[in-house]
Chains A and B, each alone.
Chain A
Amino acid sequence: MEIFKADVAIVGAGGAGLRAAIAVAEADPSLSIALISKVYPMRSHTVAAEGGAAAVTQAHDTLDYHFNDTVGGGDWLCEQDVVEFFVGQCHREMVQMEHWGCPWSRRPDGHVNVRAFGGMKIERTWFAADKTGFHMLHTLFQTSIKYPSIKRFDEHFCVDLVVDEGRVQGVVAIEIATGEFRLIQAKSVIIATGGAGRVFRENTNGGIVTGDGMALAYRHGVPLRDMEFVQYHPTCMPGTGLLFTEACRGEGGLLINKDGYRYLQDYGLGPASDKPRNKFMELGPRDRLSQAYWHEKQKGRTIQGKHGECVHLDLRHLGEAYLRERLPQIYELAVEYLGVDPAKEPIPVLPAVHYTMGGILADGKTASGLPGLYSVGECSSVGIHGANRLGSNSLTELIVFGKVAGLEASAFAKAHVHGKSDLLHKQAEDVQRRAQAIITRQGGTERSSVLRKEMAQSMENGCGIYREAKSMQATCDTIDTLRQRYKKIRLDDHSKAWNTDWLMAIELGFLLDVAQAMVYSAINRKESRGSHQRLDGYTERDDVNFLKHSLATFAGDDAPRISYGDVKITKSPPGTRAYGAAGEKADAERKAQQAAQGGSHV
């Protein structure tokens, strides 16, 4: 097996991985970087992010406002010290992206423009039309070409980490084109592999979003934190789950039911007004909007479509010219995929799985408990999203924490030497043997596509917008069984070059482990908070017992062990989470209370 030695190995070359690589290269050009990705960097799923990236920008906005929006939006399950650091870095890092050429949309005076987004008190979302992720990814990829110390391993599929002497020492990767294995030995490793939306049936995610890095860290004993919190984005395409960005509503789009009624006013988000108001109605947070859809469906006020019950996203009043300028991709998607002209007809939409709030347990500097291992981006739980992420915080997260991860991994690499290659090589050969056994296995009876579909359907049944013990238990049982059946997979393809049958089977192994962590974390959280809402007697938030992070620890063939960790509260004690007029009232009460206590915060 070929061995490549690097100082820092980065798995995943989307927004987070590329930003981390650039940070390492700029911190010390003498450090060698291996940037490993199962796709060419510009295919990474950052490409599909549409709406924008948050950063306090306007004179009447403050870091405290962004902090409060994020912590309240996360239903107080955020690490507040980390959020405080984050909001303070956002603007600087967005300016850095601008200097690197990101084509941000502009105001007439040439300054970067900002738009409104759900759950955000002030407009602070930087955008590049409705292709923000695409432009950020291509800007980062093209900028990364400047740095000769970044060696890319494009289309290399990472199968495992190698761990020795109590620290991570590299990764084993398959060169997809040949099926050859490579050991990439490194002094520190950053995981930046994105989320795991593909454990669900109807989702906005690309086919590559299979939780690889989460599963790798998890199998090596690093807990997955807050995995029960899965974001349903309220406006997705029926059938495929493709995304219609929140920016549709940021720009003034309305949500209406079958009677043409703006139903969100019935769910604590009103009153409805003609002009969009931040944190009201359509500019409420994603969890609340998806939950409102569910209730409308129960009441029979949704529209029956060919792929299930829908509501309407109405953009007609914005007019074709404005839509073409601000939402050109949405316009094309509606026309090409649905045959709907959004300037003339409302777009049928429904919620679909979009984002995993939880991930690899990381401290505020992206470090895991396994020395030398860092994680960043959607795969990571650095602690800023809590129980519900606000739209446009995640693109900024990639940049802010990508840089942090790069700097931290650089410092670790400089303080350590490479371990013994022969020992690591032996480990890598074991990894290779296990991975190849999937191809050569005799007597297998299971088709991986069948297991994948059963998993995705079961996760939708058990871990939907609203949850109950009974259906979650059924999903626990199904996933447990699927993990056993997984051992009997039979492939159609027994070749080496571009064997995607094999790679998808390995991905399915990752997906099943992550799915199991999700559903067991969910059934054990006996309260309702943010995106985790229960119908079975635990309908309220329970700060006494569950103002805690869940931690799922891998237990081999058994179900994961679920334990709990403290939440870091610095300046925002848990309060009433409310939007619309109720939110304004709650804010005023909070302020009065704090004034009475002599507090100066919030």
Chain B
Amino acid sequence: MSDTTTRIIEIEVLRYRPEQDAEPVKETFQVPFTNDMSVLQGLQYIKDELDGSLSFRWSCRMAICGSCGMMINGKPKLGCQTFLRDYYPGLVRVEALAHFPIEKDLVVGVEDFVGKLASIKPFIIPKEPRTLEQGEYLQTPAQRDEYEQFSSCINCMLCYAACPQYGLNNEFMGPGVLALLHRYNADSRDGAREERMQIVHQEEGVWSCTAVGYCSEVCPKGVDPANAVNQNKVNSAKDFFLRFVAPKGAGK
């Protein structure tokens, strides 16, 4: 099939308009598409040509801004990185990201996630303060590799939609934020691991994770949050036992 051939695909969108719908309702649109069109482009077609009231977040179109997370045929995905051709001739079912409250159509409330992100001190608390005149901290490529992967999270929240634990109890810190916590703990410039681990020791920290691993499977950036969570479990356990036998800070 050539890339310029136009075919028609059905996109079923779970609509919810708080001022008019008592509960979410399905609506189906016929969308002409070419082989290189993403699900996001399908939704843009609907909004521009068929129904301007459809609401969804989007911006960069290249899987880096993290805006367009949604459930596509039941799986958490970025709309811009998922292609209509992969569903044709079947139906594409699009719904708001699971485990978050729907504000309208495909837009979910993200305050919980952003609040959690802010709660784990997601910034460098220097091990050794340094003035600008002293120049940059030295950090070898190997030291950078310790945390780089975990710094690549685009906050798209697909891992939260994938996490059964977060679905059951949103007190759980969740995969993305734990990966971010690990990112700072693992940075050679940082000295606040202990402070952050206080947060992780809590029941809602790492210990709620039941090691399903679906979070890492859906991550569009290879951050592998499950790995971060598990490293923190090891660290958390180590800290827990070490505090009975060793002086403060020995758990590092």
Q: Which residues of A contact B (CB under 8 A)?
A: 39-40, 42-45, 47-48, 92, 95-96, 98-101, 103-112, 131, 134-135, 138, 142-143, 145-146, 154, 177, 206-208, 239-240, 242-243, 306, 329, 332-333, 336-338, 447-449, 453, 491-493, 495-501
CA A240 – CA B144 in complex, angstroms?
33
Judging by beta carbons under 8 Å apart, are B59 and A110 in contact? no
* B124 cross-chain contacts in A, Cβ below 8 A: 99-101, 143
Q: Which residues of B contact A (CB under 8 A)?
A: 2-4, 17-20, 36, 47-49, 51-53, 55-67, 81, 103-105, 107, 109-110, 114, 117-118, 122-124, 126, 130, 132, 135-141, 143-144, 147-148, 151-152, 154-155, 180, 184, 187, 189-190
A95 and B152 contact, Cβ closer than 8 Å, known pairs A48-B65, A106-B144, A492-B53: no
Min distance, Cβ B144 to any Cβ of chain A, angstroms: 6
Judging by beta carbons under 8 Å apart, are B151 and A103 in contact? yes
Min distance, Cβ B150 to any Cβ of chain A, angstroms: 10
**Nearest 9 pairs between A and B by C-beta?**
A110-B138, A492-B52, A493-B53, A449-B48, A206-B59, A498-B104, A101-B124, A501-B52, A142-B122
Judging by beta carbons under 8 Å apart, are B123 and A146 in contact? yes
CA A359 – CA B14 in complex, angstroms?
41
Judging by beta carbons under 8 Å apart, are A112 and B136 in contact? yes
Judging by beta carbons under 8 Å apart, are A138 and B123 in contact? no
A106 and B141 contact, Cβ closer than 8 Å, known pairs A495-B19, A501-B53: yes
Min distance, Cβ A45 to any Cβ of chain B, angstroms: 7
Known: A106-B144, A240-B61. 5 other contacts (CB 8 A): A47-B66, A134-B154, A138-B151, A143-B124, A491-B52
Q: Which residue of A lies closest to B52 (CB)?
A: A492
CA A70 – CA B118 in complex, angstroms?
38
Min distance, Cβ B146 to any Cβ of chain A, angstroms: 10
Judging by beta carbons under 8 Å apart, are A101 and B184 in contact? yes
* B155 cross-chain contacts in A, Cβ below 8 A: 40, 42
* B53 cross-chain contacts in A, Cβ below 8 A: 492-493, 495, 499, 501
Judging by beta carbons under 8 Å apart, are B126 and A99 in contact? yes
CA A329 – CA B222 in complex, angstroms?
12
The 8 Å CB contact of A207, one of B18, B59, B154, is B59
Min distance, Cβ B195 to any Cβ of chain A, angstroms: 13
CA A448 – CA B18 in complex, angstroms?
24
Judging by beta carbons under 8 Å apart, are B17 and A108 in contact? no
A497 and B52 contact, Cβ closer than 8 Å, known pairs A101-B184, A337-B36: no
Q: Dominant SS at the B interface?
A: loop
User: Could you jot down 26 A-B contacts, CB within 8 Å?
Assistant: A42-B65, A43-B66, A47-B65, A95-B136, A96-B132, A99-B126, A100-B123, A100-B124, A101-B184, A103-B147, A108-B141, A142-B122, A206-B65, A242-B61, A243-B62, A306-B36, A329-B64, A332-B63, A338-B36, A449-B48, A492-B53, A495-B20, A497-B17, A500-B47, A501-B47, A501-B52
A207 and B61 contact, Cβ closer than 8 Å, known pairs A106-B144, A110-B140, A497-B19: yes
The 8 Å CB contact of B137, one of A99, A135, A492, A500, is A99
Judging by beta carbons under 8 Å apart, are A99 and B132 in contact? yes
* B81 cross-chain contacts in A, Cβ below 8 A: 336
CA A239 – CA B190 in complex, angstroms?
43
A499 and B55 contact, Cβ closer than 8 Å, known pairs A145-B118, A146-B123: yes
Min distance, Cβ B191 to any Cβ of chain A, angstroms: 12
Judging by beta carbons under 8 Å apart, are A101 and B67 in contact? no
CA A45 – CA B65 in complex, angstroms?
8
* A96 cross-chain contacts in B, Cβ below 8 A: 132
* A177 cross-chain contacts in B, Cβ below 8 A: 103, 109
Min distance, Cβ A282 to any Cβ of chain B, angstroms: 22
Min distance, Cβ A134 to any Cβ of chain B, angstroms: 6
CA A101 – CA B130 in complex, angstroms?
13
* B67 cross-chain contacts in A, Cβ below 8 A: 39, 43
Judging by beta carbons under 8 Å apart, are A43 and B147 in contact? no
* B184 cross-chain contacts in A, Cβ below 8 A: 101
Min distance, Cβ B11 to any Cβ of chain A, angstroms: 17
A40 and B152 contact, Cβ closer than 8 Å, known pairs A99-B124, A101-B189, A207-B59: no
* B154 cross-chain contacts in A, Cβ below 8 A: 42, 47, 134
The 8 Å CB contact of A105, one of B59, B135, B144, is B144
Min distance, Cβ B181 to any Cβ of chain A, angstroms: 11
Judging by beta carbons under 8 Å apart, are A206 and B136 in contact? no
Judging by beta carbons under 8 Å apart, are B17 and A101 in contact? no
Judging by beta carbons under 8 Å apart, are B140 and A108 in contact? yes
Judging by beta carbons under 8 Å apart, are A110 and B105 in contact? no
The 8 Å CB contact of A48, one of B64, B122, B123, B135, is B64
* B105 cross-chain contacts in A, Cβ below 8 A: 498
Judging by beta carbons under 8 Å apart, are A135 and B151 in contact? yes
CA A493 – CA B56 in complex, angstroms?
13
* B58 cross-chain contacts in A, Cβ below 8 A: 207
Judging by beta carbons under 8 Å apart, are A449 and B52 in contact? yes
Min distance, Cβ B49 to any Cβ of chain A, angstroms: 7
CA A109 – CA B152 in complex, angstroms?
23
Judging by beta carbons under 8 Å apart, are A48 and B60 in contact? yes
Min distance, Cβ B57 to any Cβ of chain A, angstroms: 8
CA A131 – CA B139 in complex, angstroms?
18
Min distance, Cβ B155 to any Cβ of chain A, angstroms: 5
* B143 cross-chain contacts in A, Cβ below 8 A: 110
Judging by beta carbons under 8 Å apart, are A492 and B51 in contact? yes
* B126 cross-chain contacts in A, Cβ below 8 A: 99
The 8 Å CB contact of B66, one of A42, A103, A447, is A42
A333 and B62 contact, Cβ closer than 8 Å, known pairs A92-B132, A96-B132: yes
Most buried by A among B56, B105, B148: B148
* A145 cross-chain contacts in B, Cβ below 8 A: 117-118, 122-123
CA A40 – CA B65 in complex, angstroms?
10
The 8 Å CB contact of A99, one of B56, B63, B130, is B130
